[in-house]
Amino acid sequence: MVLSHVMEHFDDMELKVVLSNTRSMLKPGGLLFGATPYLKPSSKRIRPDCGRAFEIDGHKQIFDEKRMLGSLKDNGFKVALIRHFNPEHFYLGISYIYRISHTVFNTLFDQDLITQLEFVAIKE
């Protein structure tokens, strides 16, 4: 089963239900693959009509390795892999392609590349 860029959209109580339901659909030894943004800060905006704040991407949580490990273990999964995927490492150092894409992205969006946290978990 795959949960790619899903978990960050739930608060702790909602995530517990999502992971419980996910776990119930897997056979023993079944694999859960997933990814979330890595330590992406909130992008909050204020609604002009009422002055209330909201998160533009709908993210309710921020994950790093420790938080992801805890979330998966607390919900009955054995963690096989957690890694921070960083394009710089993927391209074996700062390659020409990486430099161009990084520069273009920074120029267009005035922000750094968003990396992700990837994981593989097993239902015991």
Domain of 39, CATH number, reads: 3.40.50.150
- For residues 51-60, average pLDDT: 77
Number of domains, the chain = 1
Instruction: Show the domain range for 21.
Output: 2-88+115-123
- Residue bearing the bigger pLDDT, 57 or 83: 83
CA 17 to chain centre: 17
In a domain, 38, yes or no: yes
3-class SS of residue 106: helix
In a domain, 102, yes or no: no
**72 has pLDDT over 90:** yes
Residue pair 77/122 in contact by the 8 Å Cβ criterion = yes
Total-model pTM: 0.73
Alpha helices in the chain (DSSP H): 12-25, 65-74, 87-90, 96-109
In a domain, 17, yes or no: yes
Give the residue among 32, 34, 12 at the shortest CA–CA distance from 124.
32
Cα–Cα dist 22/29, whole Å = 13
In a domain, 58, yes or no: yes
Written as six digits, the tokens of 18 are 């999502």
In a domain, 50, yes or no: yes
In a domain, 98, yes or no: no
Specify the pLDDT at position 113.
55
The model's pLDDT over 4-25, given as tens digits with 9 standing for 90+, comes to 999 999 999 999 999 999 999 9
Name 60's Cβ contacts closer than 8 Å, sequence gap at least 6. Answer: 8, 9, 10, 11, 14
In a domain, 103, yes or no: no
In a domain, 99, yes or no: no
